[in-house]
Structure 1
Amino acid sequence: MTKIFIAFSFILVVFFSCSVQQAIMKTDSNMKKIQLGMSKEEVINTMGKQYRIAGADRLNDNSIMELITYENAYNEEYQLWFKNEVLMKWNRIYKYNHDHDRSRRDTIR
């Protein structure tokens, strides 16, 4: 019984990790379909529901600006800005690893 449980657990872990990796890799190919002027709903239908709400603000003209992000497999993040749920701007940034840099500086001294 224990061997079956271990085998089943291993299969679940492998399956889950592969499906998450596939979803992250799809982010890059899906971004090619994104165009300014798309609605937030269209973007989410294209990119998937694995986004993170990173911020929101009410502007002086009473409109709403919202920022959502998607991560890819290369330690990059796509930032998408919506004004009143219409895509106004997007950007790809590299997510910097501060711990890695600190350990690198310590060894260079």
Structure 2
Amino acid sequence: MAKIFAAFSFILLVFLSCGAQRAIMETDSNIKKIKLGMSKQEVINTMGKQYRVAGADRLNDDSVMELITYENAYNEEYQLWFKNEVLMKWNRIHKYNHSHDRSRRDTIH
């Protein structure tokens, strides 16, 4: 019984990992469908629900800005800015890994 449970757990883990990886790999394909002026819900329907809310702010005119991000398979993320739930701006950035940069001078030893 323990072997069956272990095998089932392993298969489930592989299945879930593959699903998450597939969603990340589809990010680059889906971003090509994104257009400025789309609603936040249209973007989520296109890109998928695997986003992260990275920030929000209420502006002087009482409008709301929100930033959500999607990761891709290349250690990059897409940042999408919404004003009152309408896509105003997006860009792709490389997620920098500071722990591997030996040129940084501010590292504590």
What TM-score comes out, normalization by structure 2 length?
A: 0.90
Show the 5 A alignment for 1:5-84: 5-84=5-84
Question: How far apart, CA to CA, are the structure 2 residues paired with 1:65 and 1:104?
Answer: 33
Considering fraction of residues, name the structure with more helix.
Answer: 1
Amino acid in structure 2 at the alignment position of 1:75 = N
Question: How far has the Cα of 1:64 moved from its partner?
Answer: 0.8
Aligned residue pairs total 105
After superposition, the CA RMSD in angstroms is 1.7
- Which 4+ residue blocks in structure 1 deviate beyond 2 angstroms? 102-105
Residue identity (%): 85
What TM-score comes out, normalization by structure 1 length?
A: 0.90
Unaligned runs of 5+ in 2: none
Q: What does the per-residue CA deviation read over 1:10-62, in whole Å, with 9 as the maximum and x for residues that have no partner?
A: 11111111111001111111100000000111001111111111111111111
Unaligned runs of 5+ in 1: none
Q: What SS is found at the alignment partner of 2:61?
A: coil
Question: How far has the Cα of 1:103 moved from its partner?
Answer: 9.1
Question: How far has the Cα of 1:9 moved from its partner?
Answer: 1.4
